Structure 1
Amino acid sequence: MSRPDWIALDWGTTHLRGWGMTASGSVIEERHSEDGMGRLGPDGFEPALRALCGDWLEGGPVPVIACGMVGARQGWAEAAYARVPCAPLSTPFTRAPGDLEVAIIPGLSQSEPADVMRGEETQVAGFLALNPGWDGVLCMPGSHSKWAHLSAGEVVSFRSFMTGELFSALSNHSVLRHSVGGTDWDDAAFDDAVSETLSRPERLAAGLFGIRAAGLLHGQGSGTARARLSGLLIGAELAAAKPYWLGQQIGVIGAGPLARLYVRALAAQGAPAAQANATAVTLAGLTAAWKLRSQT
């Protein structure tokens, strides 16, 4: 392949994704590894990058733009948070130590209520680059789902929810692990559970144990149990995030089944949401960061 003009990195807790890019923002080649931040010590980041992109770096320096947990306190170099309200991409970027030319995108912070994000700011920037002039609310589902209010090209405020992490913990480390195994799914059970906690979020804890009881007493299947667990948690999240999405233009970032569940749950509340591909907006955000850095 031809030598890239620059390298884009999405460096998360569990995975590293890299793209060799042209100056205009076109992808030459994509690569990935399992060398996420969570398995690397302070001295492990440069070797992990060289293992993934070593041949791209031959023949002279190649600028690298990185987003995600690589800029966390436990990452390669801590990239200080920019405080909202502000544009999703803030300069200066943080230079990683070592011989490589690696610029790390800062995350965003909010004082009250206290909140932080890393990586999602790049998705916000990419979404705005692909949808110029867009105002509204972006939902970014995941282990720690984010809801961000955007206006005039800035992130005005945001909130994070540990919905995905709660689902994983309850599925694998609670009494519910006996009920929700497998991959079967029940759409009707999901819809009912979303409605239940969206209207009465205080019933969440009781509803969760009810999943186990329904399996013991009524033979509730694992597909129904799994769907109810997801629906109860997402419904409670939507109840708490209602001041964000109610009456707003909504975008949901993600191409997989989790993003589709959020779109489905919002549609049931008369709140249609447009779904955007997470990889596409991440690349668009990294490209916007590359252009911003080139101008400074």
Structure 2
Amino acid sequence: MEIFINEVSLEGQFVTEVEFRDAIKVFNSIFELINQKIKDKELYKEDSNIYANYEAIKGSNFNASLNQLKDKSLKTAFINIVFNKSNPKEWRIYQMHSSEDSFDCLTIDNDYKDVCDTSLAEVAERKSQNESKEYLLINFINSSFRITHPHISSCCLITVIKNNVEDNQICIDGIDSKLALEYWLENKLNLSSLEYSLDVTEPPRDEQTLLLDTTRFQKTSRKYDGRCIYCELPTGMYWYVDNLHYGKAAHLEVFDKRGCHLGEADLQGNIDTSKKDKNKTINLS
């Protein structure tokens, strides 16, 4: 699965700092869900310098608009969540489309918008070469990319035409909200099957817990009682699913970087330190 940030959806549609602030909050929530729910993914973005060519707050380019945010912690969160934690690659380093080709996008009013040499052109080219792969465009809210998707609620369908060949339309899914992403993931990945039921009589699979987040957890070669041990990258702590408990009693065991027990955690990662057992350790040597 390849996910692209659609910089072309920055169209100066935000009149005030408040509108742009709300858009950034929505964008952050989308990427939090992506990092939490999608295990196998490749994220791509435009060259950071090129964002200066796109308006966010009307009359100000994207970088200047970010600097206008009164809540500086929101700007920091955006950079950390969207760029640092998600670590998207710059697609131009791996560019597949030719800058000599023309790419036009169908707009809501049945007109065409030139999207040559943009993320839209790149993802369109990739999809034309590999239709079996899933592609998704992340749009900023209130953009002109709002042609309703015929099959997935709250999503949009972005149609790109290469070299004016109208019979060869390349259709790409797009979302601009957390709700739309949830619908899209359910349609594509059937994520409800990953939800752990408290009525079952077997422990949860790793992907039914917070261990699904590969930007946060890295699987190690170690196992305990048949379960893989994961290292939490930001903290160096170790986690594994307790293989003896299920249903309402299902939990993970958590250890510090030395292998000493810290407590038990629920499937969302909330640690109960009162369950700390000083006699419980894992061998990290």
Greater C-alpha radius of gyration: 2
Bigger fraction of residues in helix: 1
Does TM-score exceed 0.5, indicating one fold? no
> TM-score w.r.t. structure 2 length?
0.27
> TM-score w.r.t. structure 1 length?
0.27
